């Protein structure tokens, strides 16, 4: 079988392990987009540390879970989002305005929707977590 979305596989395995109450999860293969997405999640405290294991193939990531993640997912296709439309996507995807983040890829890198709004940058939507 061919993998359609590496990021989707990664977030699905993290979400499933979190539901099962695991303390850590092994994600493979690794990619730059996955590492940036996980660093945004880590910055907001939804996951613990993650370690990149370099086998001489696609690589693996060991993610430490802390039990704060309720759901995470990928939005496919990667819709373009203008700055005024960010609020509508937040209302559609997240359960509340108080918590949860939408991850976007912008010309200034991969960041959450709050930082994109602060920097006044639009981009394409990658996924969400809360």
Q: Give pLDDT tens digits for 101-120.
A: 999 999 999 999 999 999 99
Query: Burial of 60 by CB count in 10 Å (0-12 exposed, 13-18 middle, 19+ buried)?
Result: middle
Q: What residues contact residue 99 under an 8 Å CB cut-off, 6+ apart?
A: 130
CA distances from 103 to 20, 39, 106, 124 (A): 24, 11, 10, 9
pLDDT at 90: 95
Q: For residues 78, 14, 9 and 110, what is the CA-based torsion angle, rounded to 10 degrees?
A: 30
Unique residue bearing structure tokens 């960041």: 111
Q: Give pLDDT tens digits for 46-56.
A: 999 999 999 99
Give residue 22's pLDDT band: very low, low, confident or very high (50, 70, 90). Answer: very high
The model's pTM:
0.94
């Amino acid at each position: 079988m061919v993998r359609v979305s590496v990021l989707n596989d990664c977030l699905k395995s993290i979400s499933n392990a979190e539901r099962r109450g695991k303390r850590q999860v092994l994600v493979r293969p690794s990619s730059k987009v996955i590492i940036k997405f996980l660093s945004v999640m880590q910055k907001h405290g939804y996951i613990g540390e993650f370690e990149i294991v370099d086998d001489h193939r696609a690589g693996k990531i060991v993610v430490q879970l802390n039990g704060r993640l309720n759901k995470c997912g990928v939005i496919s296709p990667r819709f373009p989002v203008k700055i005024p439309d960010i609020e509508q996507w937040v209302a559609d995807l997240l359960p509340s305005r108080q918590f949860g983040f939408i991850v976007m890829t912008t010309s200034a890198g991969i960041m959450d929707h709050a930082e994109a709004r602060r920097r006044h940058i639009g981009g394409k939507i990658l996924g969400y977590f809360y």
